[in-house]
Amino acid sequence: MSWEPRPVPAVTPETAPYWEAAAEGQLLLRRCDDCELTFYYPRARCPDCLGDDVDWIEADGTGTVYAYTETTTVGAWPEDELPLVLAYVELAEGPRMLTALQDCDADSIEIGTPVEVTFVPTESDDVSIPVFEPTGDYSSVCN
C-alpha cells in the first residue's frame, strides 16, 4: 500500500505560514529580533527569552545528521514505506529538527552526514512535509 499523498498535519494560525511555504518548496524558521535566536518548531514566542518580536526567515535547507534511528514499526504507516529512518538534523542556521530521511537506509548514514531538504506532498495543496535526503558523496550510496 502506498501512502501518497500523505495526510495533512494539524495546521494552526501560528504554523500556517510554515506549512504554506513548505508547499512552495521553502523551509521557514522563526528568528527572535530581541535575542537573535533562530528556532524551530514555529511558535509565536521565542523559547529562550519569551519575546514576541519574532519574524519568519527562509532557511538554507541544508544541515547535517545530528542523531538518527531506524524503525520498522510505525502505527498507521504503510508497510512498503518501512523501515523508516528518523533523524535530528542540525540545520545550517543552528536549530535541530526532527524529520525523516528519504532515499537511504540507516546503514548508509553517519553522524555528520550532509543533508538537504525536500518536500513530500499531502492531501492538501497548501501543505507539504519537509524531509531530508543525503547529499554529496552520501547521495550515491543511499539511492
Assigned domain for 35 exists: yes
Whether the CB-CB separation of 136 and 112 falls below 8 Å is answered with no
Q: What percentage of the chain exceeds 90 in pLDDT?
A: 64
Q: Is the peptide bond before 78 cis (omega within 30 degrees of 0)?
A: no
Whether the CB-CB separation of 99 and 130 falls below 8 Å is answered with yes
For the chain, give the mean pLDDT.
87
Report pTM.
0.85
Reported as a pLDDT band with limits 50, 70 and 90, residue 2 is very low
- Mean pLDDT calculated for residue range 42-54: 96
C-alpha–C-alpha distance, residues 55 and 61, integer Å: 17
Domain tally, the chain: 1
Q: Is the peptide bond before 138 cis (omega within 30 degrees of 0)?
A: no
Reported as a pLDDT band with limits 50, 70 and 90, residue 29 is very high
Assigned domain for 48 exists: yes
Residue 127 has a CB neighbour count (10 Å cut-off) of: 22
Reported as a pLDDT band with limits 50, 70 and 90, residue 83 is confident
Domain that holds residue 68: 16-142
